[in-house]
Amino acid sequence: MTIDVVVLPVAGLGSRFLPATKVIPKEMLPIVDVPLIQLAVHEAARAGVRQVVLVTSGSKRAIEDHFDHFWELETQLANRGKHEQLAQVQAVLPEDVSIVVVRQPQPLGLGHAVLCAKDVVGNRPFAVMLPDDLIDGPGAGCLADMVALYESSGACSLAVEEVHRDHTDRYGIVSLLGERISGLVEKPLPAVAPSTLAVVGRYILPPQVFAALQHVQPGSGGEIQLTDGIAALLADIEFRPHRFRGTRYDCGTKLGHLQANLAYAFKDPVLATALLAWMHEHLL
C-alpha cells in the first residue's frame, strides 16, 4: 500500500495577514515568487501523491484558478517568446496530479475540514498537509520521508518537532511510548502539557480517522479537532512520530513568513548577493 492522495485544508480566514488576505487566500501569499499552496502541492507530488483534495470555503476560488490553465496568459507569453515564464506557469500543477475541490460549508475546525474530504478519499490511507507549515528539507522532502516510512512499516505518522514549553498551547502535543505515539492533546497549557514534542502540519492517516472524526465533540477553541480524531485511534492503530529533517517555517505568522521569504531568497545566488548588499547598507 502507498499513499496517493493528500488533503489540503485551505478554508481558514487568514485573519493574521489582513488586509492582504481580504480577497486573496493566505495560501496564495508567495514565498519569493511561489505561492505557499504550490510549494505544498509540489512536496506532495515528490512524495508520489497523484490526487490533491483542496478543502476550501467560498472566498478561495483563486487557489483553484491557480492550478487551472490560463490560456490567455500562456498564449501571450508564447507569442512574446517568454519561454522561461511560460514553462513556470505550465509547471504550476505537477504532471500526473489532479485536483479535486470540496467545500467546508462552515468553519467548524481542522478535524471537520478533513472530514469534508471523506467521500473523495474513501477507504484509502491518506496524507494531510497544512500549507502554512512550510518544511524546507533535504531530498524529496518531509512528506516523501513519511510515505516511505508508511510503505516500509505500515505505520501512520505525524511530523513532530521540539518546541519551547511556553508554546505548547499553539500545537497538538504528543506523548510517546518508545517510538509509538501513545497520547495526543490539542493546545495544552505549558503547565499541563505531557511533553514539548509538537505536531507540525504533515500527517499520514488511516481511513478509520473519518469514523472517529464523526464522533468527536468540539474541543480546543470549540472546534472539531483533527488531534482528537487521531487520539481516539491510538490504542488500536500504530502512529509514529516523524522527526523531520530540515527547517520548518510557520508561515501562518508574519515572522515565520518573513523568515521563509529570506531563506528562500538566499537560495537564488543573484538575489542573495543583491539582498546581502542591501542588508549591509541599510540594516547592519
Report the SS3 class of residue 217. Answer: coil
Q: Is residue 172 within the footprint of ligand G1P (CB under 6 A)?
A: yes
* β pairing state of 156-162 and 239-243: parallel
Contact residue for ligand G1P among 31, 41, 129, 130 (CB under 6 A): 130
150, 189 contact by CB (below 8 A) = no
Query: What is the residue-wise DSSP string for 76-133?
Result: HHHHTT-HHHHHHHHTSSPTT-EEEEEE-SS---HHHHHHTTHHHHTTS-EEEE-TTE
Query: Taking CB positions, which residue lies at the least distance from ligand G1P?
Result: 172
Q: Which residues pair with 51 in a beta bridge?
A: 5, 98
The whole-angstrom separation of Cα 258 and Cα 48 is 29
Shortest spacing between CB 127 and ligand G1P, in angstroms: 14
Q: What does the DSSP 8-state code read for residue 216? A: P
Part of the chain binding ligand G1P (CB under 6 A), chosen from 14-22, 45-53, 54-62, 223-231: 223-231
Q: Of 56, 104, 168, 227, which lies in the binding site for ligand G1P, with binding defined by CB under 6 A?
A: 227
* Contact in structure between 190 and 271 (CB atoms under 8 Å): no
Q: Is 27 in the site for ligand G1P (CB under 6 A)?
A: no
Q: Confirm or reject binding of residue 158 to ligand G1P (CB under 6 A).
A: no
- Please identify, using beta-carbon distances, which residue of 93 and 141 lies nearer to ligand G1P: 141
Residue in 186, 230, 232, 249 binding ligand G1P, rule: CB under 6 A? 186
Q: Write the single-letter amino acid at 239.
A: F
CB of 173 to ligand G1P, least distance (A): 8
* 201 lies in the binding site for ligand G1P (CB under 6 A): yes
Site for ligand G1P in 37-56 (CB under 6 A): none
Grid coordinates belonging to 19: 488586509
Q: Which of 5, 49, 198, 209 binds ligand G1P (CB under 6 A)?
A: 198
133 is a site residue for ligand G1P (CB under 6 A) = yes
Q: Which is nearer to ligand G1P, 55 or 198 (CB)?
A: 198
The C-alpha cell at 103 is 467545500
**Residues whose CB is less than 8 angstroms from the CB of residue 52 and which lie 6 or more positions away in sequence, other chains included:** 5, 6, 8, 41, 44, 97, 98, 99, 100
Question: Is the separation of the CB atoms in 145 and 189 below 8 Å?
Answer: no
Q: How far is the CB of 232 from ligand G1P (least distance, A)?
A: 14
Sole binder of ligand G1P in the list 17, 126, 150, 171 (CB under 6 A): 171
Contact set with ligand G1P (CB under 6 A) = 110, 130, 133, 171-172, 186, 198-201, 225-227, 252
